């Protein structure tokens, strides 16, 4: 029988991306919504992405006792000494919209030349197994912050982020093109390798 992995997100894009990377593995992947936990949420008040991802996974594990996966992402801008980082979702305030955050970021970088606008996205994915043991996987995508917003796809800082070696922002790319190189897909590939090792260990026990 396939073991079940529960995703702590209700975000359909994330769910599809995770399902597609983990397809052909011996897991059934479902989301918290499939178990009736649509309203499950935690306050992401950790000082690192790891803390937040582990907290989210840990709280849902307490409720479900299953294998749980949770992620947390931040954008790190070198010229701003790593801002907004762990505060990416609420950079312009507690109830900030994506547009508010992008506006604040552009404003802070208004005197910074294109060469100095280097930045990276980082995603941490935490897994908690049935017995409470934990693992985290990391994925990074390097790039720079554009001078102005471009494109209309994606979400968050996508209209401002140009990945290394490309001319387009994430918002100017198709979902498929972004998912090939994104921080989240890099973290998911790392997670897949870790799960493959974990399966071998379970099988050998
Ligand atoms: P979360 O941990 O996935 O909720 O991400 C925290 C914040 O980082 C989001 O509110 C977005 O502003 C930003 N973010 C996360 N992933 C992406 C992405 O793939 N593109 C652009 N912004 C992102």
Rounded mean pLDDT of 185-197?
92
User: Greatest CA span in the chain, whole angstroms?
Assistant: 58
Token pair for 176: 């498929």
Residue 20, pLDDT above cutoff 90 = no
SS (H, E, C) the chain: CCEEEEECCCCHHHHHHHHHHHCCCCEEEEEHHHHCCCCCCCCCCCCCHHHHHHHHHHHHHHHHCCEEEEEEEEEEEHHHCCCEECCHHHCCCCCCCHHHHHHHHHHHCCCCCHHHCEEEEEEEEEEECCCCCEEEEEEEEEEEECCCCCCCCCCCCHHHEEECCCCCCHHHCCHHHHHHHCHHHHHHHHHHHHHHHHHHHHHHC
pLDDT 10s digits, 64-79: 999 999 999 999 999 9
How close is the Cα of 122 to the center of ligand 1, in Å? Answer: 9
How close is the Cα of 200 to the center of ligand 1, in Å? Answer: 33
Pocket flag, ligand 1, residue 72 (CB < 6 Å): yes
Residue 12, pLDDT above cutoff 90 = no
Residue 175, pLDDT above cutoff 90 = no
Q: Is 111 a catalytic residue?
A: no
Question: How large a percentage of the chain has pLDDT more than 70?
Answer: 98
Rounded mean pLDDT of 186-195?
93
Q: Could you state, in order of their start, the residue ranges of all structural domains in the chain?
A: 3-203
Residue nearest to atom 12 of ligand 1 (CA): 156
Q: Does domain 3-203 have CATH number 3.90.950.10?
A: yes
Are 125 and 188 spatial neighbours (Cβ–Cβ below 8 Å)? Answer: yes
Evaluated on CA atoms 185, 191, 197, 199, the torsion sign reads negative
Of 39, 71, 72, 203, the active-site residue reads: 72
Residue 38: pLDDT band (50, 70, 90) is very high
Residue 202, pLDDT above cutoff 70 = no
pLDDT 10s digits, 151-160: 999 899 999 9
| Whole-number average pLDDT of the chain | 94
Cα angle 204, 57, 69 (rounded to 5 degrees) comes to 55
Residue 106, pLDDT above cutoff 90 = yes
Are 108 and 80 spatial neighbours (Cβ–Cβ below 8 Å)? Answer: yes
pLDDT of residue 17: 85
Residue 204, pLDDT above cutoff 80 = no
Residue 104, pLDDT above cutoff 70 = yes
Pocket flag, ligand 1, residue 88 (CB < 6 Å): yes
């Amino acid at each position: 029988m396939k073991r079940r992995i529960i995703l702590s997100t209700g975000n359909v894009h994330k769910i599809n991306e995770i399902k597609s990377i983990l397809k052909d593995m011996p897991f059934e992947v479902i989301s918290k919504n499939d178990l009736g936990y649509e309203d499950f949420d935690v306050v992401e008040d950790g000082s690192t992405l790891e803390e937040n991802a582990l907290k989210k996974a840990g709280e849902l594990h307490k409720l479900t006792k299953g294998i749980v996966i949770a992620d947390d992402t931040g954008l790190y801008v070198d010229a701003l000494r790593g801002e907004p980082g762990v505060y990416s979702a609420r950079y312009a305030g507690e109830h900030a919209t994506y547009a508010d955050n992008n506006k604040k970021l552009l404003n802070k970088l208004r005197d910074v030349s294109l060469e100095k606008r280097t930045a990276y996205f980082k995603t941490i994915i935490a897994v908690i197994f049935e017995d409470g043991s934990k693992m985290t996987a990391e994925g990074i995508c390097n790039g720079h912050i554009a001078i102005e917003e471009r494109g209309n796809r994606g979400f968050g800082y996508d209209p401002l982020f140009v990945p290394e070696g490309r001319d387009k922002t994430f918002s100017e790319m198709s979902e498929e093109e972004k998912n090939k190189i994104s921080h989240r897909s890099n973290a998911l590939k790392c997670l897949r390798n870790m799960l493959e090792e974990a399966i071998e260990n379970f099988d050998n026990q």
